[in-house]
Amino acid sequence: MVSLKGLLLFSASILCFLSFSSLGFASFTPIDCFLISCGGNKSIQVEDGRVFESDFGGSDVVLSTNSLITVSNNENGLFSELHNSARLFTKSSVYTISTKQIGRHWLRLHFYPVKNNKHNLKSAVFSVVANGITLLHEFSFSRLGKKEPLLKEYVIEIGGSSSSGDLVLTLSPVSGSVAFINGIEVVSMPEGQFDFSVVPIPRGPGFVVPSSVALETAYRVNMGGPKLTPRNDTLWRVWNSDHTFLVNPASARKVSTDPKSVKYPAGESVDIAPNWVYATAQEMADAKVIDQKFNITWTFPVEDGFIYFVRMHFCDFVSLSLNNLIFDVYINNQTAVESLDISTKTMALSAAYFVDFVVNMSTGSNKIFVQVGPSNLRITPSNAILNGLEIMKMSNPSSSLDGKFVGYSSNSERSNTKRHVMLVIFAILGSLAGLLLIAASCFLCFVCFRKPKMVKQKSLSWLSFPNHIGISETKISAGSFASTTPSRTLGRIFAFSEIREATKDFDESLVIGVGGFGKVYKGVLENGVMVAVKRGNSKSQQGLVEFRTEIEMLSKLRHRHLVSLIGYCEELNEMILVYEFMAGGPLRKHLYGSDFPHLSWKQRLEICIGAAKGLHYLHTGAAECIIHRDVKTTNILLDENLTAKVADFGLSKFGPALDQTHVSTAVKGSFGYLDPEYYRRQQLTEKSDVYSFGVVLMEVLCARSAINPSLPREQVNIAEWAMHWQKKGQLEHIIDPYLAGKVSIDSLRKYGETAEKCLAEYGVERPSMGDVLWNLEYVLNLQAAARQSLEDENSNAIPDIPYSIPRVESGEADEIDIVSHGESDVTTSSGVFSQIMNPKGR
């Protein structure tokens, strides 16, 4: 007699097979295929043809819970019907899914906060654990700033040495909150999907990723092609377009071929990646030069402290013959593959090929840079391609995929025992702390009363921020920092509810910028004041330290040419900064990459003078010298009158003491603006800001980005390129064509000399910001003196520029941040910046 369990397993397999057949794929039929609609009371067919069954009943999907509520919202027509319902849990609850196959499985979780009269699912805070692996810790949908459903995809081992043949999925709300889930997918994987040798970066001996390690999909990208949905993938994966990850879109060109022409060599599974991925690619754009020497660069923000699995997909359909495409592959400025010739691996053109790597991100960096570029062998035409890319986070030694969580114990009894022990310990420590606090208070009162003249006010030292769980629906949250009253030292402290109202619940249409810290929203306070709200990204490296630094620095500074901090919010694990609103936006957008009107030479000089005044104040006018450490055109903001103000103090440092010449610190900043001496020696001075400001001066003059990989190698870095012409006395050859005939020769000559001094190789050779300011004001006076002759006779003007270099703009490209590089083998400025084009392993 056939058991009910066997019958259900057989039915699930048939449903999966039929779904694949309807899509035209029959290469893989999973043994385990559980598609579960949580909270629904009927089967749901989604757009790709798959059918999700209700989690009510069934012997292979068991839901054990002390308290559950089912909610539904039939009014949601924007998304799949799967997201019209959800299952709620007010206490820790478990899904137990009995599988037939032992080994790795796809686990996909669907989350969308449907409306419910009793509970606000958007503000729910809960954790999710699968077979002892922490997938989410104190997760809240509200922190994502998303309006569409969230799909989290994992790879979990089932039936290994430490588990039975069951997938045990535990959802645990924090105290006073709820947990919810809309859908669950558990699908067995094809054999050997991740059982290939991986190459560590930096390079070392290859190894195979242990099956006990869980994976979480961070990115899956289709280079040069459109977004691919589960309809196009036998394993129901989603492949996003790569456009948003390209550092410089102008450096790449989309190419494609017929997917039917893609071949899978013997031994390579068609399930590794769809032929749609291999049929599109990004290749090097034509820079109109004989010898192209630049790389295509993609950047992917990740969570630091983890190891990441990186899989690259290649298919050479651009060559006319074998061995005609040879290129290098780099990951995080390290050589991953040198002189890769795809055809020697596949022995055919238009053949699928992939290679795996692991990247250790425990060094403090929070971005993975992937680059492909021409090989130094120079035996083939300069070209490089990439077809697809997968980046997956690997679970850490604490069996966690969430950086906010340290460890987890699956033994409930042991966990309860430890909890009781910890409560006792905390009670004892709390009592002792209370006694010590009382004693300390008495002592301080005694000292203050006896010796008031000896009490010296010290700078504020930061205490740990409290982590609040819950949601603030009022203006003031009990037991939190949320207050509408101003802080005596740090500015106004906002409640999270105030920030939500000011930004219309972080409406994406109000986003006015995106930086390393997070998104910046335009907002309006209750009193009508317009503000800029910078919301910290939980996955950004610029986290708590930068948050505190920004508040500490700006709370002590007030200057006409520094952006003012109005206040901040630290509630619900949010880090939010509120600034005065700068209607003109960043200087960069007024120079290139946007439709803003061209700035006149006089306006550009006045903007540079304003920024120089702000930096001069930082270096000399504050109580202590402050080094900005990230001077660039995106951190110089303009108001409605084009008054320049320096912004973003998250990386700032106090300067050296009187008996010191420098501050020794890890290298932080942005490629293209970084002081080469600071990069080599890790010795920071205020002259590092002067160097960065010199780059800004050249950016203002030439109206092009500091780094443009699309240009020929000698033109990539604006500092090197501009100094080449400055030393020849022919700076007019690379000036912004809009300024041709509008700048006096004397004004330009003095401007070039000032920038040249700022860009000196060594800090001692550079002027102070005070000297730079004086020189720029002199440049403006020279222009004013020559203005009449420029208008009347045009006798002292620069003629039309016959040798101006065609520029490929990179308005959408972000600067590449440098974080904590420990190497210092670069000896020249050229060496420093050429790494972005030819990043040899260091």
Are the CB atoms for 551 and 491 separated by under 8 Å? yes
Which amino acid, residue 611?
A
- Is 293 labelled a binding residue? no
DSSP-derived 3-state class of residue 537: coil
User: Residue 655 has which token pair?
Assistant: 């300067």
Tokens 């800029």 sit on residue: 532
Report the amino acid identity of residue 425: I
Contact (CB, 8 A) for 397 and 307: no
The partner residues of 371 in beta bridges, in order of sequence, read 297, 330
Nearest Cα to Cα of residue 748 among 691, 798, 804: 798
Phi, psi of 833 (to 5 degrees): -90, -15
Quick one: residue 758, left, alpha or beta (phi over 0 = left, psi -120 to 50 = alpha)? Answer: alpha
Q: Rounded distance, CA 263 to CA 280, Å? A: 14
Surface-to-core class of residue 712, CB atoms within 10 Å of its CB (0-12 exposed, 13-18 middle, 19+ buried): middle
Q: Distance between CA atoms of 316 and 325, rounded to whole angstroms?
A: 8
Q: Active-site residue numbers? A: 630
Three-class secondary structure assignment of 818-842: EECCCCCCCCCHHHHHHCCCCCCCC
* Local structure of residue 359 (DSSP, 8 states): E
For 581-594, the three-class secondary structure string (H helix, E strand, C coil) is CCCCEEHHHHHCCC
Report which residue type is found at 808.
V
Token pair in block for residue 85: 């319902």
Q: Using CA atoms, how far apart are residues 821 and 803, in angstroms rounded to an integer?
A: 38
List residues bridging with 282 in a β-sheet.
254, 386
Separation between Cα atoms, residue 124 and residue 89, nearest integer Å? 10
Residue 53 near residue 37 (C-beta atoms within 8 A): yes
Q: What are phi and psi of 764, to 5 degrees?
A: -65, -20
Q: What is the dihedral of CA 209, 210, 213, 217, to 10 degrees?
A: 30
Class of residue 688 by CB neighbours under 10 A (exposed 0-12, middle 13-18, buried 19+): buried
d(CA 509, CA 505): 11
Count of C-beta atoms within a 10 Å radius of residue 116 = 18
Neighbours of 175 (CB within 10 A): 7
Three-state SS annotation for 686-708: HHHHHHHHHHHHHHHHHCCCCEC
Calculate the CA dihedral of residues 425, 430, 435, 436 and round it to 10 degrees: 90
The answer to whether the CB of 168 falls within 8 A of the CB of 108 is no
Give the contacts of 539 (CB within 8 A, at least 6 positions apart): 301, 302, 303, 366
Identify residue 65 by its one-letter amino acid code: T
Nearest to 506 by CA among 535, 477, 486, 482: 535
* Structure tokens given for 354: 């992939």
Q: State how far the alpha carbon of 317 is from the alpha carbons of 385, 786, 826, in Å.
A: 10, 59, 38
Measured CA to CA, the distance from residue 512 to residue 583 in angstroms comes to: 10
Instruction: State how far the Cα of 332 lies from the Cα of 265, in Å rounded to an integer.
Output: 30
Instruction: Compute how many other C-beta atoms are within 10 angstroms of the C-beta atom of residue 465.
Output: 14
Class of residue 670 by CB neighbours under 10 A (exposed 0-12, middle 13-18, buried 19+): buried
Binding residues: 534
Binding residues for ATP: 534
